[in-house]
Amino acid sequence: MQNIRAQFPILKRKVNGKPLAYFDNAATTQKPVSVIDALTRFYREANAPVHRSVYSLGVEATERYEEVRTEVQKFINAKHAEEIIFTGGATESLNIVASSFSEAFLKAGDTVLVGDSDHHAVIVPWQAVAEKKKLKLTFIPVADNGVIDLAAYKTLLKTKPKFVALTYISNVLGVINPVKEMTALAHKAGAAVMIDAAQSVAHTPIDVQKLNCDFLAFSGHKMYGPTGVGVLYGKKELLERMPPRTFGGNMIAEVTREKTTYAPLPAKFEAGTPPIAEVIGLGEAIRFIQKIGFKAIQKTEGELTAYALKSFAKIPELSLLGSKNAQNRIPVFSFIMCGVHPHDIATLLDREGISVRAGHHCAEVLHRRFSITASVRASLTFYNTKAEIDRLREALIRTVKKFNG
Ligand SMILES: Cc1ncc(COP(=O)(O)O)c(C=O)c1O
């Protein structure tokens, strides 16, 4: 893993005179040299528009772009390449589903389930759609350990929702929800299922056919790829019946003064010039992950998880939100500290070169569930080290002493 760490140039830099310890990977991961090089190589040697050119450069760019679609298809084991829609990120993917699925399939009075641990990128689009279409939005509660409350979920399914949004891994608590089982239960109750996989894609292998979800969304930049690109997976038979959300070039079959007919999948949902370089960078990120392999990733991250939990347990003032168990989670930890505001903690840690997040992490509903308004989040990935966790622990102890005497 030290060798892999060396592939991330930014990890060598100093912040405020101290070596950077980057613990904000749930917000965005750093980029390996192979991804950075793929982007610059594309702009230096291969830049051209896709889908509309007969000249060689444009044809090459189109081939590369479409190859990545096939790579993503294999990465998440989708049945068809056209089930992979490139978007600007998970947020856009989740918005497309909320607005397009509801327009195609939902009517006033229908129930939609979202979750207390969902990111705002799930909750807010569905709130907007629910208001417009007079849908009933119900929240699936989480248990004290942060996992979705299965018993409550089963009871809610008796209300016969038409749509269920599930978060695979909470961006605040790091807990892995049993989404496969929950998807099967939702289908039995007659609901379509969308999985927000923004926090899982870099940490766990994803197989959409095994999960049997109807939609799944993630971002490139949380999996060592570039910003500005994401993926929406959707079952072909559903996407084909759903209306496009953005209108313009590339998504049409024919345009006359009277009427436009739309292109088949995936173009129907990819209006305008797409993020070409970013898609190519995403392909490189997938190759980077596959070279390391999820087995090695999960082994290293499991060790970091256990070590971090042990380290946090040595600080009596620190209260971890959700599960304190190393099993069934990724190394994402949110906590509060007696007598110190999260923003003060983040500011003092930054002076020591340690980057953590403070606030509600786009999950206000979840923070209210735990009767707080903000927390500190340290989110790790395989390139973090035990030595960095030691620095974090020591810095937290110093911070508490400074504030509490
Ligand atoms: C669980 C979850 N869903 C969705 C998103 C939105 O991703 P993006 O901001 O890349 O669109 C995030 C980002 O933090 C997230 O953690």
Domain 2-30+293-404: CATH architecture, name and number where available: Alpha-Beta Complex (3.90)
pLDDT at residue 52, rounded to an integer: 82
Ligand 1 touching residue 73 (CB < 6 A): no
pLDDT score at 212: 98
| Alpha-carbon distances, residue 345 vs 227, 309, 339, 354 (angstroms) | 27, 18, 10, 10
Closest C-alpha to ligand 1, atom 14: 27
Q: How many CA atoms lie within 13 A of 129 on its CB side?
A: 27
130: helix, strand or coil? helix
d(CA 231, ligand 1 centre) in Å? 12
Tell me, what's the pLDDT at 231?
99
Comparing C-alpha atoms, which of 371, 344, 342, 372 is closest to residue 359?
Answer: 342
State the amino acid at position 139 in one-letter form: F
Backbone angles phi, psi at 17, to 5 degrees: 80, 0
pLDDT in tens, 23-68: 999 999 999 999 999 999 999 999 999 998 899 999 999 999 999 9
Ligand 1 centroid – CA 260 distance (Å) = 33
* Whether residue 96 has its Cβ less than 6 Å from ligand 1: no
pLDDT of residue 404: 85
Q: Is the CB of 223 under 6 A from ligand 1?
A: no
Ligand 1 site-directed mutation target among 91, 332, 361, most atoms within 8 Å of CB: 91
Domain limits, the chain: 2-30+293-404, 35-290
pLDDT score at 65:
98
Low-confidence ranges of the chain (pLDDT < 50): none
> 32 φ, ψ to 5°?
-75, 160
Q: Judge: domain 35-290, CATH 3.30.1390.20.
A: no
Asked if 213 is an active-site residue, the reply is no
Q: What is the DSSP code (8-state) at residue 235?
A: -
Distances (CA, A) of 401 to 25, 37, 208, 345: 27, 44, 48, 12
What Å distances lie between residue 334 and 24, 202, 227, CA to CA? 11, 19, 24
User: What are the DSSP calls for 165-203, one per residue?
Assistant: EEESB-TTT-BBP-HHHHHHHHHHTT-EEEEE-TTTTTT
Instruction: Please give the helix or strand (H or E) that residue 288 lies within, else none.
Output: helix 276-292
| Amino acid of residue 23 | F
How far is it, in rounded angstroms, from Cα 102 to Cα 92?
Answer: 15
Q: What pLDDT does 358 receive?
A: 97
353 vs 356: CA distance, rounded Å: 10
Neighbours of 264 (CB within 10 A): 10
The SS3 call for residue 147 is coil
* Crossing angle between the packed helical segments 179-188 and 150-157, to the nearest 10 degrees: 20
167 Cα nearest atom in ligand 1: 1
Ligand 1 lined by 119 (C-beta under 6 Å):
yes
Coil, helix or strand at residue 341: coil
Cα–Cα distance measured from residue 248 to residue 238, given in angstroms and rounded to the nearest whole number: 22
pLDDT for 72: 98
CA–CA separation, 302 vs 64, rounded Å? 35
- What's the pTM value of the predicted model, to 2 decimals? 0.98
**Which member of 11, 189, 238, 362 is catalytic?**
362
